[in-house]
Amino acid sequence: MDYDLLVIGAGIHGVTIAKAAAQRGCRVLVLEQYSGPAQGTSSKSSKLIHGGLRYLESGQFRLVRECLSERRRLLKTQPDLVKLIPFHIPVYRHTCRKTWMIAIGLNIYRLLGGKDFKHIARQDWAKLDGLKTLGLKHVFRYWDAQTDDLQLTRRIIEEAEHLGAQVHYGATFYGAQCSADHCDIRFEMAGEVQNVKARAIVNASGPWVNTVLKKMSPPITPLQIELVQGSHIVVPGKLKRGIYYMEAPRDQRAVFVMPWHSNTMVGTTETPYQGDPAKVRPLEAEIEYLLETRNHYFEAQAKREDVIESFAGLRVLPAGNSNPFSRSRETVLHSDKKLPNVLSIYGGKLTSHHHTMTRVMKKLKGLKTAGA
Ligand SMILES: Cc1cc2nc3c(=O)[nH]c(=O)nc-3n(C[C@H](O)[C@H](O)[C@H](O)COP(=O)(O)OP(=O)(O)OC[C@H]3O[C@@H](n4cnc5c(N)ncnc54)[C@H](O)[C@@H]3O)c2cc1C
């Protein structure tokens, strides 16, 4: 046998699992189709390490508690990459979510493991990065964390390599013939098809999850999913006071306005996506929507030509008719009873990557290592 574990994808999930398996003495190979780690969703997120205050609205209490606990862990283990930052929620006369609703939400958030929140006194509103004050009734401040998703993923893959995991970039998984105790795997790298054997496969290919699953033989029934695009824009202007949690005037969705290096990042959107995940790009309508939301709340106005950068990523959500905003954000692990050694990860959060890894390792507990 060449490897104990093959991991498909060097996003946050793939690299974390590769590191954990290498730490346990497994021979690990990671295949990544792009030329480096985190070129898919894991560099296109909102870069928040948070419980997800807004998930309380859809009753996802367990997810919020789990993510807040992961936030605490990451603040300790990655202090230079994961930092607490104040979040501000302004409440205007026209805001759909009422002051008392937000206060209840923040209290529940605190009880689930968040930190204390407070009201910002009216005389301090002028210090809030040029936030419009006409019609402003309250400003809440609470705490969550921000990271650099690309750097976090890079760090973990470097640690995995240091522990002995092998990583092939520019290597596309082509297919695998699997039995309950091993898989014969084919992948393409530098124009050549290569073959390796591994005892188990983790399909951590993010929005490509079902494309990859279709290449397994015997076939494994995929879960029904929808890909939902989320875009961000970066505009000039440094925010000094932290993050602003806004209600988009057009549809009342939650949109974040965040400091990002010396600029401001605004996101995100929820646009159903069909097609090749590699081709996802921000739509002009999404850029307009994000600019409109930001400009609605800040005195200094940004124009289309001011947009420095825009990027889009894909969420993997369970298929359904409800609005994507209210769909479950739980991470689902999927395998076939006859092939427990082929595991696929659906969805998930950057914040909970470590927790997802522990669930995956538990499922693969039968994984034999070189010495076993
Ligand atoms: C818009 C948006 C905002 C988000 N914001 C946050 C946030 O603020 N906080 C938070 O906690 N979470 C957030 N998330 C969720 C989080 O970003 C994702 O859950 C996480 O990045 C998914 O990581 P992954 O490793 O599963 O997938 P990916 O990062 O997409 O990695 C999959 C990898 O598999 C590779 N791959 C695919 N097919 C093949 C193949 N055949 N062969 C070889 N390699 C292959 C791809 O190239 C890719 O690199 C956000 C998600 C989106 C879309």
Q: What is the pLDDT of residues 317-334, one digit of tens each?
A: 988 767 766 666 778 999
The answer to whether residues 231 and 310 touch, using CB atoms and an 8 Å cutoff, is: yes
For position 116, what pLDDT does the model report? 86
Round the average pLDDT of the chain to a whole number and report it: 94
Q: What's the 203 CA to ligand 1 centre distance in angstroms?
A: 12
For position 368, what pLDDT does the model report? 55
Gap between the Cα atoms of 191 and 170, Å rounded: 10
Gap between the Cα atoms of 118 and 221, Å rounded: 49
Q: Please, what are the domains in the chain? A: 3-42+150-224+329-363 (3.50.50.60), 56-62+76-145 (no CATH), 225-318 (3.30.9.10)
- Is it the case that residue 102 has pLDDT exceeding 80? yes
For position 107, what pLDDT does the model report? 92
What average pLDDT does this structure show over 42-62?
90
Residue with tokens 């929620």: 89
State if residue 157 touches ligand 1 by the CB under 6 angstroms criterion. no
State if residue 268 touches ligand 1 by the CB under 6 angstroms criterion. yes
Nearest ligand 1 atom to the CA of 348 is 19
Q: What is the pLDDT of residues 149-180, one digit of tens each?
A: 999 999 999 999 999 999 999 999 999 999 98
pLDDT band at 60 (very low <50, low <70, confident <90, very high): confident
Nearest ligand 1 atom to the CA of 312 is 1
CA 362, 364, 370, 372 dihedral sign is positive
Closest residue by Cα to atom 15, ligand 1, is: 349
- Is it the case that residue 43 has pLDDT exceeding 70? yes
The answer to whether residues 18 and 353 touch, using CB atoms and an 8 Å cutoff, is: no
Gap between the Cα atoms of 68 and 297, Å rounded: 28
Closest among 34, 54, 52 to 42, alpha carbons compared: 34
Q: What's the 4 CA to ligand 1 centre distance in angstroms?
A: 24
Nearest ligand 1 atom to the CA of 313 is 53
Q: What's the 318 CA to ligand 1 centre distance in angstroms?
A: 15
State if residue 277 touches ligand 1 by the CB under 6 angstroms criterion. no
Q: What's the 11 CA to ligand 1 centre distance in angstroms?
A: 6
Q: What's the 264 CA to ligand 1 centre distance in angstroms?
A: 22
- Is it the case that residue 14 has pLDDT exceeding 90? yes
Nearest ligand 1 atom to the CA of 15 is 25
Q: What's the 206 CA to ligand 1 centre distance in angstroms?
A: 5
pTM of the predicted protein model: 0.96
What average pLDDT does this structure show over 234-240?
96
For position 319, what pLDDT does the model report? 87
- Is it the case that residue 128 has pLDDT exceeding 70? yes
State if residue 37 touches ligand 1 by the CB under 6 angstroms criterion. no
| % of residues, the chain, pLDDT over 90 | 87
**Cβ within 8 Å of residue 316, ≥6 positions away:** 206, 207, 209, 225, 227, 346, 347, 348
pLDDT band at 351 (very low <50, low <70, confident <90, very high): very high
Q: What is the pLDDT of residues 66-75, one digit of tens each?
A: 999 999 999 9
Q: What's the 51 CA to ligand 1 centre distance in angstroms?
A: 18
Q: What's the 228 CA to ligand 1 centre distance in angstroms?
A: 12
Q: What is the pLDDT of residues 280-304, one digit of tens each?
A: 999 999 999 999 999 999 999 999 9
Q: What's the 352 CA to ligand 1 centre distance in angstroms?
A: 12
What average pLDDT does this structure show over 233-262?
96
Q: How many CA atoms lie within 13 A of 181 on its CB side?
A: 3
Nearest ligand 1 atom to the CA of 14 is 25
Q: What's the 77 CA to ligand 1 centre distance in angstroms?
A: 21
pLDDT band at 370 (very low <50, low <70, confident <90, very high): very low
Q: Which residue has the higher pLDDT, 15 or 61?
A: 15
The answer to whether residues 241 and 124 touch, using CB atoms and an 8 Å cutoff, is: no
- Is it the case that residue 371 has pLDDT exceeding 60? no
For position 186, what pLDDT does the model report? 98
State if residue 16 touches ligand 1 by the CB under 6 angstroms criterion. no
- Is it the case that residue 144 has pLDDT exceeding 50? yes
What average pLDDT does this structure show over 251-271?
96
DSSP 259-306: EETTEEEEE---EEE-S-GGG----HHHHHHHHHHHHHHBSS---GGG
State if residue 329 touches ligand 1 by the CB under 6 angstroms criterion. no
- Is it the case that residue 148 has pLDDT exceeding 90? yes
For position 57, what pLDDT does the model report? 83
| % of residues, the chain, pLDDT over 70 | 97
For position 189, what pLDDT does the model report? 97
Lowest mean pLDDT among 74-88, 113-127, 152-166, 193-207: 113-127
- Is it the case that residue 206 has pLDDT exceeding 60? yes
State if residue 141 touches ligand 1 by the CB under 6 angstroms criterion. no
Nearest ligand 1 atom to the CA of 215 is 41
pLDDT band at 195 (very low <50, low <70, confident <90, very high): very high
State if residue 33 touches ligand 1 by the CB under 6 angstroms criterion. yes
- Is it the case that residue 54 has pLDDT exceeding 90? no
State if residue 360 touches ligand 1 by the CB under 6 angstroms criterion. no
Gap between the Cα atoms of 296 and 284, Å rounded: 18
Q: What's the 151 CA to ligand 1 centre distance in angstroms?
A: 14
